[in-house]
Amino acid sequence: MKSINLVECIFSKNYDFESAIICTYGLNLNFFENYLMKLDALYSSDNISIFTDSSTYNSFLHESYTPRWLNKKYLVNHLKTGGVFHAKLYMFASEKKAVVGIGSANITRDGIASNLELLSVFEISEKETLYASLLLDCIDYVRRLAIITNSQSAYEQVELFSETCRSFLSTEVEKHIHFVHNLDRPIIEDLIENASKHRVSKIQVISPFYDVELAALEALRNAFPKSKIEIYIQQKKSNFPKMMFDKIKPNVSLYVYKNIDRYLHGKAILFHCNDEVLLYFGSANFSKSALVEKPPVGNFEIGLLSNIDTENAEHIICPGGKKALLVESAEEIEVSLIDEYEKHHEFIEYITEAILINNIIKIYVNPDITTQQFTPEKIKLCDFDNNTYEENINKDLTIEVTPNIKKRVPGKIAVQIQGCNKKGNALSSNILWVIELEEKSSDPLRKRLRKIYNNPFGLIAVLYEILEGGDENELRLFLMQFDIPLDLVLPPRIHMKPAMLSSKGNIDGALPIHSSFIISSSMRGAYEECLERLRLKLESHQKNPQINKISNFMLILQSLYSLIWFINNESIYNKHKELKIITSDAWALIRDYYNMLLKYIDKSWTIVWSDGGYRDVINAKLAKDQSDNQENDFRNFEQIIAEEYDNPLTDIIKFALHTIGKFEQLKDTLCIHTAYGNNVKPKIFSTNHMYLQFNKVNSIKQSIEWIADSINASGQICR
């Protein structure tokens, strides 16, 4: 048992995940969109589905944060029960690997970063099949959740996740760990059944929340009357019912942690059996709704049940080496007055799904609710700024989003239906945010584009992947198809570094690349067409700068320089770096290639940094926007990309100077073998190679170095 960082173990995994499914009670959309979605695991996924509690879902409307990607880049599904939806599950999958995390942490800043949580993480692939059956159990669980929601979109996303990792789903692998849920029976029954196979001498319980009756304790005492039971709580951060202290004796002891600063949010039950311990941990607190009941009366809960040794059991009972103290009297206990869960908003769970297609919102409703229970009368649209619109409902439950409605409700649209019951009492349905998910595809081009959108420096890896097969036609086809739509808006990216450049195999040309296919006149034409397409898009941003499109501009700019780096290294330099003498035809091709590369370095640099360039016009927009919003802290273009994109300017500068340096190196070291048998120094002709002229090369280099010298430690330009 060791301490782990949830971000490092799951959310920062760079496995090119395509699908993600998350179950959580607490869901902070601000934290999710502006931190977790920027990390590797979620950023690369274009199929993200979240299951949460209905009260959490309904609370979105009352939060100060307005989410940008809700039901667009990720789908949020809600479930209602007599208790709450409380499961904590994190699953990510690509065609090569899946990662599963199960524990007690919510998708909140506290849950991910500061609380003391209990969590296990498992990796599954074709070669790592030990926990394949656990992955299958988890997929079956969320599939059942999707069916309960009556949401076709939720079900389709679960099926897409399952299809993504189909190659390593298996029921034949022996189960080393038992996935526990309460869809069919209370969790306490599952635990008692498994623990009863052993001679249980002691039971230890860690939990922050309890019910006033201690129903789960009563169930364990009845099942194991001779076993000693120990309950562990944290001082001032538990709602343990003090009035029950004297009633739990004589075979139950209470222990309190008094010297732990962080909130102990983990939940566990340990059954000590001879020399080993049967451990349950997961989402369930030691309460009636979590352990003794099941939906639709109690909570939705999950967890894991497995054997651990006594040393690991000790680590759980003594988090961070801190021991709990035995409580002698109820007066020693200081409890918290907070409730275990927030209360539900009382709505009729009538709407199951609302989907926007071609400006028509189609509403799907719960078929189990009769007209006597609820008769719909009006459709109400609203957004996060409390703008509303109402109209009478029609038979097919649709509403056209007209220009007038867009004007009345300009933000992200939610739907609510108002009506009455058979007695004529006015009722309102649940509120549901309209789904307008981005289109998904299993097309190989789409997968390659996903890698690049995840990290534009990943273009280098994609090109290497194509060249491994040595197929010039495939490379040319990709360059023709590669495009970054101007309306593609992504969250700012954290940790976008050109990791491929540190790979010895790639830099040294160890991959089985057919060099003859890489450098040719026809391929130069394909490269130039792609570079020109990217340049024109940068120019469009310069002419029409938009603050919400900075991410698109950076994606295009970094892709352009990634392509320049790749052409320089793999099409030119690596092929000729060991040579001393080449033919005049070979030099003519080298000359044409480098003239092309320096042309696009010069043009792109001018677009960004010239007077009136993109930097100037977007900074003017930023200043006006922040002035209109009365914000005191002005952030300029350089600050935004330094803070939100991990200083990509330094990498772009390196790429540009690296390209110029390699050209100058080849020009100085190579000799041309003429038709007359002489070896002469290479020549540059001003008519066809203006960007290779000495003065032009120096001018380009100086403009780049001037920006490089102006960048301070925080990534800002100091002019």
The predicted structure's pLDDT at residue 493: 56
The predicted structure's pLDDT at residue 105: 94
Dihedral sign, Cα of residue 671, residue 674, residue 680, residue 683: negative
Burial (Cβ within 10 Å: 0-12, 13-18, ≥19) of residue 276: middle
pLDDT(511) > 80? no
Could you give the percent of the chain with pLDDT greater than 90?
Answer: 60
Most confident of 246-250, 357-361, 458-462: 357-361
| Lowest model confidence (mean pLDDT) among 265-274, 385-394, 451-460, 679-688 | 451-460
Q: Which residues pair with 240 in a beta bridge?
A: none
Question: In this structure, what token pair is assigned to residue 718?
Answer: 């100091």
Number of Cα atoms under 13 Å in the Cβ half of residue 15: 23
Residue 579, φ and ψ in degrees, nearest 5? -90, 155
pLDDT(334) > 60? yes
In this prediction, residue 515 has a pLDDT band, given cuts at 50, 70 and 90, of: very low
Higher pLDDT among residues 189 and 442, named by residue: 189
The predicted structure's pLDDT at residue 508: 28
Whether the bond into 296 is cis, omega within 30 of 0: yes
Kindly report the average pLDDT of the chain as a whole number: 87
pLDDT(339) > 70? no
**What's the CA gap between 403 and 409, in Å, rounded?**
10
The predicted structure's pLDDT at residue 516: 39
430 closest CA partner among 55, 49, 52, 26 = 55
The one-character DSSP state at 329 is: S
In this prediction, residue 500 has a pLDDT band, given cuts at 50, 70 and 90, of: very low
In this prediction, residue 513 has a pLDDT band, given cuts at 50, 70 and 90, of: very low
The predicted structure's pLDDT at residue 230: 97
**What's the CA gap between 261 and 328, in Å, rounded?**
23
In this prediction, residue 343 has a pLDDT band, given cuts at 50, 70 and 90, of: low
pLDDT(78) > 50? yes
pLDDT(50) > 90? yes
The predicted structure's pLDDT at residue 464: 82
pLDDT(687) > 80? no
The predicted structure's pLDDT at residue 455: 76
| Lowest model confidence (mean pLDDT) among 64-78, 315-329, 341-355 | 341-355
Arithmetic mean of pLDDT, 617-645: 78
Q: Which residues contact 394 (CB under 8 A, 6 or more apart)?
A: none
Arithmetic mean of pLDDT, 422-444: 84
Helices (H), 127-204: 132-149, 152-164, 187-195
In this prediction, residue 545 has a pLDDT band, given cuts at 50, 70 and 90, of: very high
Q: Which residues contact 253 (CB under 8 A, 6 or more apart)?
A: 228, 229, 230, 231, 326, 327
